[in-house]
Structure formats: structure tokens, C-alpha cells
């Protein structure tokens, strides 16, 4: 089952469950009387048809949004159906309480109020869980037939690679298909059917990991190392940073990576996910919702100012008002970033790509002011709406500089684990990049943000950015 089909199936299932739960609740609780909203209609027959149909139209979007914010539509590849049901209990309970205290608190009779809440809660929870169990059961059946599996690559020492391969083979419902394995030391490759191909790699075969991930379309990297292999683990983490893969290791290595891991059991197969995003699913979805609302408001409300800036740039210097540039975003993917042009049109014609400096002579008369107020970043709100960027995150860099910095700054690629931002912790704590030392310092701030990101931290960064805009403290 593809990811797109999975999401559609879940939304359809949840919609049917919410609608059916409402009709069942109304039938049992009010015994055919659908006047729960206090509406009156001269024709009782019309009321019995219109009012019960009206409620699901309003309730369905509410429940879909609740489930979305709680992360119930994120990928849960071969995860436990029991764990998902437990999560649904929490979501449905909170959702029912929100409905009760915002809408229904005044319409339930005193004697039946608690029983009404319990009845509705039981129907919503039971039907949503039932629908999702059906979807997950179909998904599991497809995985057992080889459809929708994740391609995995194993890295480790010979004996541990073989042991992990056998463990994965015992649990086909885990949905992992080992397509290759790199053995440290012997440098041999293990094919997907477990046969040793005796194929010799160069001495540092571990360096081929990024290319193998791309060529074999790997989704999971399974790490089979011992508790003393700190150096090897660090190298694997460095090489896989920025790749669209999840890293999982065997449980006996947990003591080495401490708080950087999350333990999970996939149909009995114990694995530890390394370097998960610390922000809970509901915060991630709320962050995206805030991005969309703020971007729309700023673009629409400030449109007279943005039009004025566009005219000022176009009339005071040659070239277009909007500057387009390729940048590296989440998971290493490139995208076109937009800015108000602050430099002359041929700014890098003689020098090639270089960082801006303080009082850079390439700034136009309007561009210097835009840089100080950071209003040159406003067009990136379009990137936010498109999903390329977020309001808060590490600043995206040009591919030219990324290629140079990956080899010079350890863990630089880790910045690509999340969406880049218009502003970030590094921007409010440090100045614009003008040297390699500046970039190294800002990477430290970026990594700190990634490991500690939260909505409260985003709000703090946005507040400091607003102060910089008002004071003209940018450069």
C-alpha cells in the first residue's frame, strides 16, 4: 500500500466512523429525537432528516483536524496496532471533552449528561479504532506478500550482520527487505537473500553509504555494532545525515547513544531509532498550521508595503525586484528560494559565490535598508506556503557552499533533517555568514535548535526576530 493510498484510506475510514458514530449516538441516546442543537422546524419529518445530516458535516472536519494534529496520519510503517489504538484513546477523549465544553454543555439534560458523553465517546472511539484496524490489517497482509516493504541496508561486523539478518527474516510483518549489507572489517556485501557474494570493496567501503542509499532506494539503515564501537557509529551517523532514511540499531547499543534514541518494537523485532525529531507530532502539525496562518496574514496585510518595496527596487537599480536562488532544504533536496533583491544584478559575476560582508559595496541603496530590517526575506513566505520552508529553522544554504562545508564541518548535514527557516536560533544569536568560522558557530546553534525544537522555542525566536526587524539590527 503506497503512502498516498494509506492516507486516503485512513481519512475515508475516519470520516465514515465519525458519521456513523453520530447517527448511532443520536438513535440510542435520543430515541429518534434529533433536536440536540435546539433547532425548531414546523415539519417534524423535515427536522428528522436535516438536523442529523447537518451535524456530521461540522463534526467530521473537527475530528480530522484533531487526528491530524495528534500525528495519527503520519507514517506508521508496520507499527503496532495496539499502540495506535492507545493513542486514539487519548485523542478521542480530548476531542470529546472539547466538544462537550464548547458546544454541548448547555443542551444535555442534567440526569443524562455523563451518560451522553460516555455513549458518544464509546461510539467515536470504537468505530475509529475498528476502521483503522481494518486498514492496518489490509496493510499488513500486503506487506506479508512483499508489497509496501521498506528497503533496508545493514552496517556492522560480520557476526552481528548475520544475526540481525536472521532476526529480520523471522519477522516478515516488520516490512523490512534487506537489499544489501556492508561488513566492516571484511568489507563484504550481503545480498537480499542472505548469500555472501564475497565481493571486495575498497578499504573504506563505509564511505560508500551515501551512494548506496541513493542507488538502492534505501529507507532504513540497520546498524549492527557493539557497545564499544563509538567511532564507527559516529561515522555512520555522519554519512547518513541529510539522507531520507531512518537509522535503527540493535538494543544492546543503547548505552552509547543515551538520550538520542527511541526504542520501538516492530511486530516483535526490537530496534532503536537513532536521532528522532524531538518535537511531538501534534507540535509539528501545529507548527505547520502557524506557518500557513502567519505567512498568509503577513503577505495579505502587508501587501501595500511589499508592492512599494518592489517598485522602489525596480526604479533604483537594474534587474528584477525578486531574486531567485537554488538552496538545499530538508533531506538534501534543492528548491528555489525567493528574496527581495538587495545587491546589484551582477554582484557575483567576477567573484563567483561568496558570502555577504558588513557594509558590502554590492548592496543597492534600497538593499542596505532591506538587509538591516530583514524585510528582504519576506518573499520567502511564499516558500513557506509551498512547504519548502518553515518560519523557524536552520537557514538554507546554496548547493555550492553545502558541498564545501560538508567536508569541513562535522555533522553539517544534520541541519537538513528538518525544514529550513526564514529565521532561526542561529540568526538571533549570531550575525550573517561572512567566513567559515561564522558558519561553524552557527552550525552549533542550528544543532542545538534541532535537538531542542519546540513551539515555545519557535515563539521565542520569532519574538527576537521581530525585535531585530523593529530595531534594524540585521545585516
Query: In the prediction, which pLDDT does 106 show?
Result: 55
Helix 365-373 vs helix 303-316: angle between axes, to the nearest 10 degrees?
150
Tens-digit pLDDT profile for residues 283-315: 888 899 999 999 999 999 999 999 999 999 888
Which residues of the chain are in CATH 3.40.50.720 domains? 150-274
The average pLDDT across 142-158 equals 81
Tens-digit pLDDT profile for residues 12-32: 999 999 999 988 887 776 665
Tens-digit pLDDT profile for residues 46-72: 444 445 556 677 889 999 999 988 888
More confident residue, 252 or 133: 133
Query: In the prediction, which pLDDT does 39 show?
Result: 44
Top-confidence range, 155-164, 185-194, 300-309: 300-309
Find the range with the poorest average confidence among 213-227, 259-273, 368-382, 398-412.
259-273
Q: Is there a contact between 384 and 422 (Cβ–Cβ < 8 Å)?
A: yes
Percent of the chain with pLDDT over 90: 22
- The SS3 call for residue 224 is strand
Query: In the prediction, which pLDDT does 179 show?
Result: 85
CA dihedral over 107, 112, 116, 118, signed as positive or negative? positive
SS (H, E, C) 91-132: HHHHHHHHHHHHCHHHCCCCCCHHHHHHHHHHHHHHHHHHHH
- The SS3 call for residue 145 is coil
Tens-digit pLDDT profile for residues 331-387: 888 999 999 988 876 666 555 565 565 566 677 878 888 888 888 899 999 999 999
pTM of the entire predicted model: 0.63
Query: In the prediction, which pLDDT does 393 show?
Result: 93
Query: In the prediction, which pLDDT does 36 show?
Result: 44
pLDDT band at 253 (very low <50, low <70, confident <90, very high): very low
Q: Is the pLDDT of residue 420 over 80?
A: yes
C-alpha cell belonging to residue 94: 480530548
Query: In the prediction, which pLDDT does 134 show?
Result: 93
Tell me how far apart the alpha carbons of residues 284 and 13 are, in angstroms, rounded to a whole number. 23
| Nearest partner of 343 among 352, 353, 356, judged by Cα | 356
**219: CB partners within 8 A, 6+ apart:** 150, 151, 152, 244, 245, 246
Q: What is the DSSP string of 2-70?
A: -HHHHHHHHHHHHHHHHHHHHHHHHHHHHTT--GGG----S-HHHHHHHHHHHHHHHHHHHHHHHHHHT
**124: CB partners within 8 A, 6+ apart:** 17, 18, 21, 63, 92, 95, 96
**Phi, psi angles (nearest 5°) of residue 112:** -105, 10
Q: Is there a contact between 435 and 355 (Cβ–Cβ < 8 Å)?
A: yes
Percent of the chain with pLDDT over 70: 73
Q: Is the pLDDT of residue 11 over 50?
A: yes
The average pLDDT across 309-330 equals 89
Q: Is the pLDDT of residue 394 over 50?
A: yes
Q: Is the pLDDT of residue 5 over 70?
A: yes
Q: Is the pLDDT of residue 3 over 70?
A: yes
More confident residue, 226 or 326: 326
Query: In the prediction, which pLDDT does 186 show?
Result: 47
The average pLDDT across 308-328 equals 89
Q: Is the pLDDT of residue 210 over 90?
A: no
Query: In the prediction, which pLDDT does 381 show?
Result: 95
pLDDT band at 160 (very low <50, low <70, confident <90, very high): confident
Find the range with the poorest average confidence among 142-146, 216-220, 252-256, 269-273.
252-256
CATH domain 150-274 topology: Rossmann fold (3.40.50)
pLDDT band at 184 (very low <50, low <70, confident <90, very high): confident
| Nearest partner of 413 among 272, 253, 257, 247, judged by Cα | 247
The average pLDDT across 188-201 equals 42
Tens-digit pLDDT profile for residues 75-124: 776 667 788 888 899 999 999 988 887 766 555 555 456 777 888 899 99
- Beta bridge pairs of residue 223: 155, 249
Amino acid at each position: 500500500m503506497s503512502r498516498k493510498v494509506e492516507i486516503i484510506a485512513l481519512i475515508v475510514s475516519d470520516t465514515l466512523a465519525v458519521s456513523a458514530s453520530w447517527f448511532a449516538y443520536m438513535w440510542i441516546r435520543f430515541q429518534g429525537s434529533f433536536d440536540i442543537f435546539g433547532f425548531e422546524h414546523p415539519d417534524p419529518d423535515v427536522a428528522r432528516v436535516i438536523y442529523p445530516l447537518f451535524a456530521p458535516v461540522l463534526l467530521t472536519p473537527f475530528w480530522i483536524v484533531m487526528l491530524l494534529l495528534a500525528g495519527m496520519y503520519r507514517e506508521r510503517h508496520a507499527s503496532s496496532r495496539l499502540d495506535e489504538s492507545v493513542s486514539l484513546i487519548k485523542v478521542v477523549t480530548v476531542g470529546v471533552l472539547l466538544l462537550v465544553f464548547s458546544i454541548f454543555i448547555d443542551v444535555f439534560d442534567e440526569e443524562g449528561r455523563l451518560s451522553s458523553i460516555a455513549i458518544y465517546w464509546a461510539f467515536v472511539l470504537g468505530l475509529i479504532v475498528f476502521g483503522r484496524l481494518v486498514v492496518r490489517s489490509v496493510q499488513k497482509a500486503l506487506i506479508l506478500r512483499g508489497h509496501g516493504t521498506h528497503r533496508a541496508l545493514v552496517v556492522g561486523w560480520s557476526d552481528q550482520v548475520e544475526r540481525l539478518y536472521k532476526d529480520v527474516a523471522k519477522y516478515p510483518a516488520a516490512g523490512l527487505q534487506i537489499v544489501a549489507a556492508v561488513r566492516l572489517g571484511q568489507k563484504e556485501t550481503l545480498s537480499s537473500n542472505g548469500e555472501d557474494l564475497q565481493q571486495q570493496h575498497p578499504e573504506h567501503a563505509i564511505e560508500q553509504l551515501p551512494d548506496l542509499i541513493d542507488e538502492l532506494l534505501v529507507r532504513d539503515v540497520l546498524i549492527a555494532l557493539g557497545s564499544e564501537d563509538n567511532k564507527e557509529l559516529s561515522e555512520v551517523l555522519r554519512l547518513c545525515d541529510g539522507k531520507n532514511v531512518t537509522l535503527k540499531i540493535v538494543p544492546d547499543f543503547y548505552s552509547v547513544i543515551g538520550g538520542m534514541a527511541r526504542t520501538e518494537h516492530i511486530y516483535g523485532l526490537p530496534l532503536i531509532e537513532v536521532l528522532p525529531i524531538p518535537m511531538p507530532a501534534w507540535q509539528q502539525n501545529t507548527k505547520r498550521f502557524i506557518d500557513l496562518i502567519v505567512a498568509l496574514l503577513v503577505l495579505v496585510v502587508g501587501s501595500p508595503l511589499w508592492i512599494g518595496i518592489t517598485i522602489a527596487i525596480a526604479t533604483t537599480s537594474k534587474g528584477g525586484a525578486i531574486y531567485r536562488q537554488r538552496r538545499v532544504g530538508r533531506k538534501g533536496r534543492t528548491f528555489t528560494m525567493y528574496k527581495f533583491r538587495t545587491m546589484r544584478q551582477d554582484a557575483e559575476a567576477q567573484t563567483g559565490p561568496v558570502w555577504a560582508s558588513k557594509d558590502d559595496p554590492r548592496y543597492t541603496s534600497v538593499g542596505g535598508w532591506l538587509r538591516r530590517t530583514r524585510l528582504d526575506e519576506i518573499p520567502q513566505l511564499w516558500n513557506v506556503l509551498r512547504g519548502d520552508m518553515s518560519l523557524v529553522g536552520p537557514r538554507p544554504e546554496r548547493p555550492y557552499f553545502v558541498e564545501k562545508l560538508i567536508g569541513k564541518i562535522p555533522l553539517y548535514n544534520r541541519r537538513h533533517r528538518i525544514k529550513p527557516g526564514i529565521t532561526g536560533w542561529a540568526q538571533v544569536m549570531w550575525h550573517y555568514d561572512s567566513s567559515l568560522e561564522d558558519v561553524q558557530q552557527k552550525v552549533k546553534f542550528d544543532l542545538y535548535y534541532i535537538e531542542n525544537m519546540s513551539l515555545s522555542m519557535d515563539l521565542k525566536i520569532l519574538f527576537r526576530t521581530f525585535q531585530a526587524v523593529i530595531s534594524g539590527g540585521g545585516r
